[in-house]
Amino acid sequence: MPLGEDGNGWKKKTSDIKENYDFKEVLGTGAFSEVVLAEERKTQRLVAVKCIPKKALQGKENSIENEIAVLHRIKHENIVSLEDIFESQSHLYLVMQLVSGGELFDRIVEKGFYTERDASKLIRQILDAVKYLHDMGIVHRDLKPENLLYSTMDEDSNIMISDFGLSKIEDSESVMSTACGTPGYVAPEVLAQKPYSKAVDCWSIGVISYILLCGYPPFYDENDAKLFEQILRADYEFDSPYWDDISESAKDFIRHLMEKDPSKRYTCEQALQHPWISGDTALDKNIHESVSAQIKKNFAKSKWKQAFNATAVVRHMRRLQLGTSVEAPSPITPTSPSNSHLLLPTSHPEEGEDEGEEEDGKEPQGEDSRRGSADRDSLRSCGYCCRPASRI
């Protein structure tokens, strides 16, 4: 159905969106959209406006209408909300809640103290939000660290789930089978091209939990086929010494989420009742040094444009706070796993990156080597590059 002909009352007609919003700066670009930091003229409130030219939507109307349909139904404290929708003759504008606290991995790296209990609190928020989605019949299908952003720069800020471009609203008649998501986080049944359900999100939460406790992804192989075989077999380990100080309860929690058989995999409700989440089994031992070192080694951004640049928002908010127009960029903005295999190939090294940075020696070979390279399959999506690095 063509945009503007569906009779949805929640779309507001406008001849010029800038009558309502003062556009500040571009935060990033996606496949067929641009996200702009804007100030609502009436309230001086900052928002993120997703600007979508209609001519870019020819043949893709269903895709964007799906995203809008999903977002418009969602109201949860840990999910980025769609606040308004405007439509002009040439564009569709999605006015989104602005999340200004930066990205998950940035916050962990910047901390001086980080424990299992901190990770448990993060995962609890994600489980709460995803359970809410599942109760509404919505499957996110692309949960990963770069879709997890902090609401504000406050120490106790909520973590927020963003990016519903791949979400699907389940109904009793449909069974999902489209191969989508990011391979580093995708469930075995998706790679096997089998019908799948809400359980795919629970697998992804297990992978995120794994990374939050060690700083590197559970699956890696330089060869794509072997990487997929690892995921299909759910072949992962809790490697020593990186997991030596992690509780058995945390490992048990991850095993129940990263369960190969989706019928045996924990649901969000079951995961929320696990003692590592609801009890007191998450340890208070400081694991910051080890985890942050691995995050720096295994996750890196490229200079390609992103769909949403959370770091640019943080810089803008700090400028407002400090009353200055100059703010140095964050020294590290790690968001995408080096094994995600959805990454745009790039031959350019990171800015300021020393090509001899891997002081730990050559990349280990075999199953112990869990790093990655760029993939060229049909699942390609985001503007990140990988930087293989040894954790040994």
Give the Cα separation of 123 and 154 in Å (integer): 18
DSSP labels, 111-172: -S--BHHHHHHHHHHHHHHHHHHHHTTEE-----GGGEEESSSSTTPPEEE---TT-EE--T
Angle separating helix axes 116-135 and 199-214, nearest 10 degrees: 170
The catalytic residue among 106, 142, 163, 201 is 142
Q: Name all contacts of 317-320 with Cβ < 8 Å and 24+ positions apart.
A: 317/100, 317/153, 318/153
Q: Any alpha helices (H) in the chain, and if so which ranges?
A: 61-73, 104-110, 116-135, 188-191, 199-214, 224-233, 248-257, 268-272, 275-278, 288-298, 310-322
* CB neighbour list of residue 227: distance below 8 Å, 6 or more residues apart: 183, 219, 220, 221, 339, 341, 372
- Establish whether 55 is an annotated binding residue: yes
Extract the tokens encoding 216.
């590197």
| CA nearest to 118, candidates 128, 130, 110, 108 | 108
Give the Cα separation of 29 and 26 in Å (integer): 8
Residue 135 falls in the annotated catalytic set: no
Give the Cα separation of 296 and 106 in Å (integer): 10
| Total Cβ atoms within 10 A of residue 23 | 13
Angle formed at CA 354 by CA 353 and CA 355, multiple of 5 degrees: 110
Structural contact between residues 39 and 24, judged by C-beta atoms closer than 8 angstroms: yes
Q: Which residues are catalytic?
A: 142
Annotated binding site for ATP: 55
